[in-house]
Amino acid sequence: MFVLPDTMESNLMMKDNGVIGDMSSQKLKDARIFETEAEKKIKKDERPAFHLSPRAGWMNDPNGFSYYKGKYHLFYQYNPYDTKWGPMYWGHAVSTDLLHWEYLPAALAPDAPYDCRGCFSGSTVELADGRQLLMYTGVVWEDKESEEAREIQTQCLAIGDGVEYEKYADNPVLDAASLPAGGSRYDFRDPKMWRKKDGTYACVAANRGENGRGRILLFSSPDGLNWRYEKVLFANDGRFGTMWECPDFFELDGKGVFLISPMEMLPREMEYHNGNGTICVTGNYDEDANMFTEETDQAIDYGIEFYAPQTILAPDGRRIMIGWMQNWDTLIYSREQKWFGQMSIPRELSLRDGRLYQRPVRELEAFQSDPVEYHDVPVSGLVQLDGISGRMIDMELVIRPADQETLYQKFAVRFAQDEMYHTAFSFRPSESVLRVDRKFSGSRKAIIHQRRCRVNSKDGRLKLRLILDRFSVEAFINDGEQVMTATFYTPQEADGISFFADGKVLLDVVKYDIMI
């Protein structure tokens, strides 16, 4: 049972933006009762099959992605009561294969004096004694009577057994006093912890500096409970948006890698077209000197919806990333929808020549069924192939010019298609540009429906692996050298797939249904 520390009981009547506050743990109990009932009203086939969606209501960032007591744990930013963002709880789910998720009761509610405006994003580590430690951003309203009063962000802890978590009596453990000169206490969030080889703990968190830009602070702790500021590990020099969110930092194939979600990015040629986007910065990390030297940067996902990713080191050594399959600027609500927000498919990461490669977790292969294969199909104009359809599929396409002398103008694959709807990827080899377009997917809003990505293509050759799961597509380009992700809420009956070429293309297709 979740028992409140004494200090919290005595603080139950807190001021929450002028309203006398809620009963602490009652808030969590209520949410747990509510989500259990709300879940029953959502049929299984109204959700994605193997991408995690919220148990009820709204989901944003993945939090506390971890492997604990023999299971993968994924927490998430959660408003159980509405399909819109609201006071943040932590939802919770577990999995043994990263594809079947089982909901656990909500883990955190905004029920303490130091987090009554929300339990924002954070992470987990296992403590030396085997308990699981959560660090999250507690949000409160600034204690001043002024028009300019704003929300303040601090870092807080909770400790638990994988289901029940008790907030730490000495919260918050990092606050304005922990910040370097000029650090904003209004923008200080999203701690990502890890355990170091020597058994001590480290953590990176995002903070806005005096210049208004984001930077990543490094903190250290001998025991996971007592934290101290170390240094600014990496700062935004103006190339990557304004404030930064949701940093992750890890070693991959001998390099230091930052994953960061910058807000308000300016596009740079064919990179960073997403406004609120994602970047991967690689470089050299000297752990003894705590020095990061930047080498390369790129978008993590070149599609429309992907944000705030987090990674884990799986027990078998794989670095696996999961992201919120959404962008703050493209919230498409359909009237019928009983939930909002989905996670991406977990993706295995590697580095090759300074570029981040991603592939869907290999666990997916166990659920590939009913293969349909075609080789050397000539495509000129519109082509449909027997057995190639579906909304829960894993399909690889290899395309190349049929005629060595004349390059084709354009190749396109349309899916989630019927007479009324479709979403498409199209490729123009002369520009080496791949475009996703969901204008005709059924959205009634004039939000962004297209995104372009410059891909590596020699002589009109391209390899595309498309993962469809009812409401989304993730395209892994050239064995994961780039990824483009988009969501769509097209009626499920629209399950057609067709191919089109302006010019002459030869096509190989291997398609599996995902039976899960």
- Give catalytic residues, as residue numbers: 61
Q: How far is CA 442 from CA 390, 423, 449, 451, 492, in A?
A: 17, 9, 11, 17, 11
x/- map, 283-312, ligand FRU, by CB under 6 A: ------------------------xx----
Contact (CB, 8 A) for 186 and 151: yes
DSSP state of 225: S
The smaller minimum CB distance to ligand FRU, of residues 244 and 357, is found at: 244
Choosing from 99, 116, 202, 246, the residue that interacts with ligand FRU (CB under 6 A) is 246
Q: Please report how close the Cβ of residue 513 comes to ligand FRU at its closest, in angstroms.
A: 33
Instruction: For residue 187, state whether it binds ligand FRU (rule: CB under 6 A).
Output: no
Task: Say how far apart CA 15 and CA 22 lie, in whole Å.
Answer: 9
* Residue 307 parent element (H or E): strand 307-313
Q: How deeply is 454 buried, as exposed, middle or buried, from its count of CB atoms within 10 A (0-12, 13-18, 19+)? A: middle
Which H/E stretch holds residue 219? Answer: strand 214-221
**Residues 191-230, mask of contacts with ligand FRU (x by CB under 6 A):** ----------------------------------------
**With contacts defined by CB under 6 A, how many residues of the chain interact with ligand FRU?**
13
| Shortest spacing between CB 137 and ligand FRU, in angstroms | 5
Closest to ligand FRU by CB, 88 vs 514, is 88
CB of 79 to ligand FRU, least distance (A): 9
Query: Nearer to ligand FRU by C-beta: 57 or 442?
Result: 57
**Comparison of 17 and 456: residue with beta carbon closer to ligand FRU:** 17
**Residue 178 is a binding residue for ligand FRU (CB under 6 A):** no
Contact with ligand FRU (CB under 6 A) among 120, 227, 488, 489: 120
Near ligand FRU by CB under 6 A: residue from 66, 121, 457, 472: 121
Establish if 47 lies at the interface with ligand FRU (CB under 6 A).
no
Distances (CA, A) of 507 to 25, 315, 394, 427, 510: 58, 38, 16, 13, 10
Question: 15 or 84, CB closer to ligand FRU?
Answer: 84
Q: How far is CA 238 from CA 3, 89, 260, 264, in A?
A: 46, 33, 14, 11
Position 108 contacts ligand FRU (CB under 6 A):
no
Three-state DSSP state, 417: strand
Binding of residue 474 to ligand FRU (CB under 6 A): no
190 near ligand FRU (CB under 6 A): yes
Residue closer to ligand FRU, measured from CB, 192 or 438: 192
Considering the complex, what minimum distance in angstroms separates the CB of residue 120 from ligand FRU?
A: 3
Helix (H) or strand (E) holding 35: helix 24-40
Smallest distance, ligand FRU to C-beta of residue 341, A: 10
> CA 166 to CA 173: how far, in whole Å?
15
DSSP secondary structure string for all residues of 444-456: -S-S--EEEEE--
Q: Which is nearer to ligand FRU, 77 or 171 (CB)?
A: 77
Q: How far is the CB of 309 from ligand FRU (least distance, A)?
A: 11
Q: Of 461, 455, 452, 453, whose CA–CA distance to 481 is shortest?
A: 455
Identify which of residues 281 and 424 has a Cβ nearer to ligand FRU in the complex.
281
- Any contact of residue 469 with ligand FRU (CB under 6 A)? no
Q: Please report how close the Cβ of residue 88 comes to ligand FRU at its closest, in angstroms.
A: 5
Alpha-carbon distance of 511 to 371, in angstroms, equals: 6
Q: Which is nearer to ligand FRU, 86 or 387 (CB)?
A: 86
Nearest alpha-carbon partner for 417 in 482, 305, 496 = 496
Rounded Cα–Cα distance for residues 255 and 352 (Å): 11
In the complex, what is the shortest distance from the CB of residue 49 to ligand FRU, in angstroms, rounded to a whole number?
A: 25
Site string for ligand FRU, 63-102 (x = CB under 6 A): --------------x----------x--------------
Are 216 and 249 spatial neighbours (Cβ–Cβ below 8 Å)? yes
Position 60 contacts ligand FRU (CB under 6 A): yes
Q: Residue 398 is encoded by which pair of tokens?
A: 């290899």
| Cβ–Cβ under 8 Å, residues 276 and 327 | yes
Measured distance CA(246)–CA(278) in Å, rounded:
10
Distance CA 437, CA 146 (A): 46
Alpha-carbon gap, residue 253 to 119, rounded angstroms = 33
Contact flag: residue 189 with ligand FRU (CB under 6 A) = yes
Q: How far is the CB of 304 from ligand FRU (least distance, A)?
A: 16
Site residues (vs ligand FRU, CB under 6 A): 60-61, 77, 88, 120-121, 137, 189-190, 245-246, 307-308
